[in-house]
Amino acid sequence: MEITSQINNLDRHNLFQLAIENISDQIILTDKDAKILYVNPEIEHVTGYTPEEAIGTRAGELWGGVMSTEFYKEMWKVLLEYKSTYTGKLQNRKKDGTLYWAEVKISPVLDKHKRISYFVGIERDITVIKEIDRMKTEFISLASHQLRTPLAANKWLLEMLISGDFGELKQEIRNEIETINTTNERMISLVNSLLSISRLESGKLMVEPVETNLIEFINNISNEMLPKITEKNLSSEVFVDPKIGNVYVDPDLLRHAITNLISNAIKYSPDGEKIQVKLEDKDNEYVCYVKDNGIGIPKEQQNQIFKKFFRANNAVELIGEGNGLGLYLVKHAIEVMGGVIGFESEENKGTTFWFKLSKKGMKRHEGKLTISTA
């Protein structure tokens, strides 16, 4: 009662101040040259500097400068050239010298002539979340590595049993062993996907662009998939715009993405249908489409399709096996290459997955790991 009457007595300005000064995110207002005009008290929790110390300095002058020049260039490009909101994660340094991870959202404030007059930024300390994420990725990586060796040993023994190396088997025993072998293969594929995910999520993945003839590249992958296509009595069509030349791409990542999309098109198409792979030259981008006339994705589940472990109901009904990690990996692989992925789908009519890659090629990224776990 007392609080309500207090708030009723406050004017809009005071309410606004009360909210900004007590919010648990750091809020900064700067002029167009990034000089800090206002910062809320949370700054002291996040950076160790008081508002008095920060006001008058350039945003980040006291705690920034930890990331690469390239990173800040990108950030200022979004803010100054595109005049858009920049959202990102970056590392900063506190007053006591310790590093912390922050999630930032910076927006330019435009005047009526669309000129930047201020910047307003929100910064949140996400060091703990980052650390938990790192531990989770490390755990998945360790567990998957530990599982690989026994599964590989099982595979070896099961294959020896099946091929009669330990003597001829009775048909029913052989059938059972084949079932165990299929389950073992499924486990190997799950463990490999988990390892690929931990590699992607660790941020240590190498992106090594190599000049590649995309026409040959797509044709080769499609040919490699032919046995799977004919096994299901499917037909396939590959159309590559002959104008397309060489481009700098990471072949390992690109192969991973295209192979996965074609495998899904095969898996979710009824026998006898057609699969089309198309590569188009569109303005500044190359666009690759993988189209099928299969089961499609139910509309109400389409927004979940790139989530880890997600499988749509109709896919689960059709094929029990599958781990829902393939598309999550494909999306990450495309994004690591600076591309974009999307799809159109109608249930029982078919699905077209597409991704776009810039003609300029992709940026090199130093790293120790590759996506393939072989």
CA angle 63, 32, 38 (to 5 degrees): 55
Sign of CA dihedral 38, 70, 128, 331: positive
Cβ neighbour number for residue 295 with a 10 Å cutoff: 22
CA distance 286 to 214: 10
Q: Give the amino acid at 251.
A: P
Nearer to ligand ADP by C-beta: 217 or 268?
Answer: 268
The CA radius of gyration of the chain, in Å to the nearest whole number, is 27
Question: Closest approach of Cβ 289 to ligand ADP, in Å?
Answer: 12
Taking alpha carbons only, the member of 326, 323, 262 closest to residue 294 is 262
Sheet containing strand 340-346, edge to edge, reads 235-240, 274-282, 285-292, 350-358, 340-346
CA distance 150 to 177: 17
Nearer to ligand ADP by C-beta: 213 or 304?
Answer: 304
Q: By beta-carbon distance, which residue lies closest to ligand ADP? A: 326
Residues that bind ligand ADP (CB under 6 A): 264-265, 268, 292, 294-297, 305, 310-312, 315, 322-328, 351
Residue 149 buriedness (CB in 10 A; 0-12 / 13-18 / 19+)? exposed
Element (DSSP H or E) covering residue 262:
helix 251-267
Nearer to ligand ADP by C-beta: 262 or 337?
Answer: 262
Nearer to ligand ADP by C-beta: 326 or 339?
Answer: 326
CA distance 218 to 290: 11
Question: Closest approach of Cβ 263 to ligand ADP, in Å?
Answer: 8
Decide: helix, strand or coil at residue 105. strand
